[in-house]
């Protein structure tokens, strides 16, 4: 295994130093290390995404575990949690083990499968959570993402069940009766465009219910892709009461608003939908305050025929892995401690991924890290993305920050901005 010296690197924006990587960990100086001139580069603990759609098995025309892993490494990630809405659904030990094994074979990031809460994501019968937890994939997060676990009794039982092994239920908060036929955020823009609205209350009502259930049961709840100011207030109150709840926000909900729907370009169709400027402001503040714990990409690749069609027929979802850090940098600037916490340390903790989100100043820390050049501005070109799919809402935008290198347990997965394999 190659040893590296990151010469003159700035760890989280601190004064330049020399950082050695040897034998898979941050090490004391070693001779004959491969020198990387890291002057002007910032080292962050490798990013961790608690919400990625990899589409394998079933929709390998949109993404595979390997292509999604490569996109992740190029985006500075060293671990991603793969959502369960594949085909077949990841609702058995067999499927989660398959995804986990494909991740190991690709070897670009740690792929940690998420198991479905209910059989087939149908919301009727609990899946074999215990079998998935005790499988080789060691599943800790369970989610029906794409669908809400709408039945309160089933949600309660799932929360109770995962308590035994400190698992967490990650809820896609959407009261389905309130979003029937919904195409975009319900508000002034939807009225003008004549598209059926997805009201904020459909998200907020479920989060309110679920924090009460989690409190009642004493179990862990994670809220996926929080998108409204009202949801932030519900979470703020729940956290103040000591409820064991964590929450994520996506880069797109931190940047884009529902006005993007005005051109009827389905690249801006996403679930939950883009909201208003005041929601965006509240989400930014909540991430700063820690009411929202993490940035998660909700990387949702879709094949051309599923996206480049009439708005109402298009699938919801946007790519995210390769642009997440530049978007967060463009919104918050070089707040490296914040970025490291919300994009690596806290997500690693939520997902139980020991070895990720470690302290890069300490010898012995697993060498999961990424090197960023914050001085470079880049234009997003969909043709250059490693994802199979092309549904990025940021095409043509100039964003700050270039991922120069990523290391997974001391092995380079990205060097000079290019994937190593
Ligand atoms: N976030 C999205 O817009 N899409 C997700 C699932 C979903 O949450 O609808 C997908 O799997 O494509």
Residue in this structure with the two tokens 């914050």, named with its chain if needed: 374
- pLDDT the model gives residue 13: 96
Is 391 labelled a binding residue?
no
Report d(CA 181, CA 273) in Å as an integer.
13
Q: Is the CB of 272 under 6 A from ligand 1?
A: no
Q: Is residue 259 helix, strand or coil?
A: helix
Tell me if residue 298 is catalytic. Answer: yes
C-alpha torsion sign, points 69, 307, 120, 87 = negative
Between helix 229-240 and helix 200-217 the angle, nearest 10°, is 10
pLDDT over 70 for what percent of the chain? 100
Mean pLDDT of the chain: 98
- Nearest alpha-carbon partner for 127 in 101, 152, 96, 82: 96
Q: How far is CA 341 from CA 76, 166, 299, in A?
A: 14, 22, 20
- Nearest alpha-carbon partner for 395 in 280, 306, 308, 272: 308
- pLDDT the model gives residue 1: 86
Q: Would you list the domain boundaries of the chain?
A: 46-357
Report d(CA 26, CA 319) in Å as an integer.
32
Q: Is the CB of 172 under 6 A from ligand 1?
A: yes
Question: How far is Cα of residue 58 from the mean position of the Cα atoms in its chain?
Answer: 21
ipTM of the complex model: 0.96
Indicate which residue of 258, 298, 306, 341 is catalytic.
Answer: 298
DSSP H/E element including 377: strand 369-379
Q: Catalogue the E-assigned strands of 67-143.
A: 77-82, 110-113, 141-142
Is 356 labelled a binding residue?
no
Report d(CA 66, CA 299) in Å as an integer.
14
For residues 158 and 219, is the Cβ–Cβ distance under 8 A?
no
- pLDDT the model gives residue 279: 99
Characterise 86 by phi-psi region: left (phi > 0), alpha (psi -120 to 50), beta (else): beta
Question: From the alpha carbon of 145, which atom of ligand 1 is closest?
Answer: 8
Question: From the alpha carbon of 270, which atom of ligand 1 is closest?
Answer: 3
- pLDDT the model gives residue 356: 98
Q: Is the CB of 298 under 6 A from ligand 1?
A: yes
Q: Is the CB of 85 under 6 A from ligand 1?
A: yes
Is 103 labelled a binding residue?
no
The pTM for the full model equals 0.98
Q: How far is the CA of 94 from the centre of ligand 1 (A)?
A: 23
Q: Is residue 370 helix, strand or coil?
A: strand
Q: Is the CB of 253 under 6 A from ligand 1?
A: no
Question: Which overall architecture, per CATH, does domain 46-357 show?
Answer: Alpha-Beta Barrel (3.20)
Q: How far is CA 168 from CA 23, 141, 223, 295, 297, in A?
A: 33, 5, 10, 17, 19
Q: Which of 50, 52, 53 to mutate to test the pocket of ligand 1 (most atoms within 8 A of CB)?
A: 53
pLDDT per residue rounded down to tens, the chain (421 residues): 899 999 999 999 999 999 999 999 999 999 999 999 999 999 999 999 999 999 999 999 999 999 999 999 999 999 999 999 999 999 999 999 999 999 999 999 999 999 999 999 999 999 999 999 999 999 999 999 999 999 999 999 999 999 999 999 999 999 999 999 999 999 999 999 999 999 999 999 999 999 999 999 999 999 999 999 999 999 999 999 999 999 999 999 999 999 999 999 999 999 999 999 999 999 999 999 999 999 999 999 999 999 999 999 999 999 999 999 999 999 999 999 999 999 999 999 999 999 999 999 999 999 999 999 999 999 999 999 999 999 999 999 999 999 999 999 999 999 999 999 9
Question: From the alpha carbon of 172, which atom of ligand 1 is closest?
Answer: 8
Can you give the length of the chain in residues? 421
Is 401 labelled a binding residue?
no
**Which residue is closest in CA terms to ligand 1's atom 9?**
146
**Which residue is closest in CA terms to ligand 1's atom 4?**
317
Report d(CA 375, CA 351) in Å as an integer.
31
Report d(CA 250, CA 253) in Å as an integer.
5
- pLDDT the model gives residue 215: 98
């Amino acid at each position: 295994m190659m040893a590296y010296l990151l010469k003159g690197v700035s760890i989280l924006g601190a004064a330049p130093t020399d950082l050695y990587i040897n034998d898979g960990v941050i090490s004391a100086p070693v001779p004959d290390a491969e020198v990387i001139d890291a002057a002007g580069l910032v080292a962050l603990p490798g990013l961790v995404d608690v919400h990625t759609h990899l589409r394998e098995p079933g929709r390998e025309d949109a993404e595979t575990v390997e292509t999604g892993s490569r996109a992740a490494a190029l985006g500075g990630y060293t671990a991603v949690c793969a959502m369960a809405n594949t085909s077949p659904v990841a609702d058995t030990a067999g499927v989660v083990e398959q995804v986990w094994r494909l991740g190991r074979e690709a070897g670009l990031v740690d792929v940690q499968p998420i198991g479905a809460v209910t059989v087939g994501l149908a919301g009727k019968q609990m899946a074999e959570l215990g079998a998935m937890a005790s499988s080789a994939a060691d599943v800790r997060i369970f989610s029906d993402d794409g669908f809400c676990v709408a039945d309160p009794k089933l949600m309660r039982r799932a929360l109770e069940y995962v308590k035994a092994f400190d698992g967490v239920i990650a809820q896609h908060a959407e009261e389905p009766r309130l979003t029937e036929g919904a195409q975009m955020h319900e508000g002034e823009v939807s009225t003008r465009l004549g598209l059926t609205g997805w009201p904020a209350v459909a998200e907020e009502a479920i989060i309110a219910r679920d924090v009460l259930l989690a409190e009642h049961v004493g179990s862990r709840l994670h809220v996926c892709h929080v998108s409204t100011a009202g949801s932030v207030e519900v979470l703020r109150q729940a956290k103040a009461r000591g409820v064991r709840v964590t929450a994520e926000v996506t880069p797109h909900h931190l940047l884009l608003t529902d006005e993007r729907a005005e051109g009827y370009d389905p690249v801006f169709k996403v679930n939950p939908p883009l909201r208003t400027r005041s929601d965006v402001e509240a989400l930014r503040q909540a991430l700063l305050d820690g009411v929202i714990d993490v940035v998660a990409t909700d990387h949702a690749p879709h094949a051309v025929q599923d996206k480049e069609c009439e708005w109402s027929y298009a699938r919801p979802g946007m790519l995210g892995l390769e642009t997440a850090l530049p978007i967060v940098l463009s919104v918050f600037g070089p707040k490296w401690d914040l970025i490291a916490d919300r994009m690596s340390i806290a997500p690693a903790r939520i997902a139980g991924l020991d070895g990720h989100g470690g302290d890069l100043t300490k010898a012995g820390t697993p060498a999961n890290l990424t090197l960023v050049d914050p001085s470079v501005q880049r234009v997003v070109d969909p043709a250059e993305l490693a994802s199979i799919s092309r549904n990025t809402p940021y095409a043509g935008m100039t964003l700050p920050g270039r991922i120069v290198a990523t290391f997974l347990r001391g092995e380079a997965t990205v060097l000079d901005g290019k994937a190593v394999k």
